[in-house]
Amino acid sequence: MTRLSRRIFVLSGRAAAGAAVTPWQGARAAVPYSFKLGVASGDPASDSVVLWTRLAPSPLNADGQGGMANADVTVEWQVSTTDRFSSLVASGSVVARYADAHSVHVVAGGLAADSDYHYRFRAQGQISPVGRTRTAPAPGTFGRDLVMAFASCAHYEAGYYTAYRRMAEENPGLILHLGDYIYEGGVNTSAVRQHVGAEIVSLADYRRRYALYARSTCACSATAHPATS
C-alpha cells in the first residue's frame, strides 16, 4: 500500500505503548455537544493512521464555523486496542484552530502493522463517538484478508444514503470514495430532499456543504466511521 505524504497533517504528541491511561468521564461541559460530525480515520500506514474530527455544535451555520466561538480549542485524543480504552497505545493533544473551522488531523504513530484499533477525542469536557481503524500490512507482506467498500456520486438530494448503513453493517476494513462526495448546486425543490443554501462559491459555503454531507453520512451509518481514505 502506497504511503501518502503527511506534510499537510498536524502532528500531535505520541505516547509509547503501555502508557498510563487518563480516565475520561462522561461529558460534563455546559455547552452544546461539539462532535456532531463524528470522527474519521484514513491514510493508513503500517505504523500509523491519520485521525480526524471537527468541533461543530451547529454544523450548518451559514458562516461555516459550525457554531464555535472565535477561539482555538485544545483537543485530546486516544488510541487503544479495545473500545473501553483500558490501556492506551498512543495519545496526545492538538489545537483545533478557529481559522481551520476547528477541524484537526492527527497522525497517531507507534502502532503495530495490520492491526485493529479504537480511537476517540475529548474537548471542552465532551467525548467524541468511538471510531474504529486499521493499519496497513508491513511493507512486503500480504496481511490479513481485507474487505473493501467503494462509494461515488453521493448526491444528497437524490436519495437517503441507505447504502451507507449497509456498508457499515458489513464491517469493511477500508472505504474508498471515488469522487463527487459533495455536489455544489443549490436547492432542487423537486428532489427527495434539499441542499441547505444556494450554489456554493465561498469557503464558508464549502464548509457548510461538507458538514451537511458528513452529518448525513454519520446519521445513516449509525456508527463511527471505519478506516477511510
Over residues 67-111, the pLDDT tens digits come to: 999 999 999 999 999 999 999 999 999 999 999 999 999 999 999
User: What Rg, from alpha-carbon coordinates, does the chain have?
Assistant: 18
Distance from C-alpha of 9 to C-alpha of 77, rounded to nearest angstrom: 15
User: Among all chains, which residue has been given the C-alpha cell 474530527?
Assistant: 53
Mean per-residue pLDDT, 189-206: 96
- Buried-exposed string 68-95: b where 16+ CB fall within 10 A, e elsewhere: beeeebebbbbbbbeeebeebbbbbebe
Instruction: Supply the pTM of this predicted model.
Output: 0.84
Residue 96 CB contacts under 8 Å (≥ 6 apart), including other chains = 54, 55, 72, 73, 74, 75, 102, 103, 104, 123
With cut-offs at 50, 70 and 90, classify the pLDDT of residue 32.
Answer: very high
Is the pLDDT score of 10 beyond 90? no
Between these two residues, 162 and 63, which has the higher pLDDT value? 63
**What is d(CA 222, CA 229) in angstroms, rounded to the nearest whole number?**
19
For residues 225 and 197, which has the higher predicted lDDT (pLDDT)? 197
User: Which of the four pLDDT bands, split at 50, 70 and 90, describes residue 189?
Assistant: very high
Per the prediction, the chain carries an average pLDDT of 86
Kindly tell me if the per-residue pLDDT of 227 is higher than 80.
Answer: no
pLDDT, greater one: 10 or 65: 65
Q: Which three cell numbers stand for residue 92?
A: 496526545
**What average pLDDT does the segment 33-60 reach?**
97
Mean pLDDT of 176-203: 95
Give 137-168 pLDDT, tens digit per residue.
999 999 999 999 999 999 999 999 989 999 98
CA–CA dist 216, 229 (Å, integer): 18
129 pLDDT higher than 50: yes
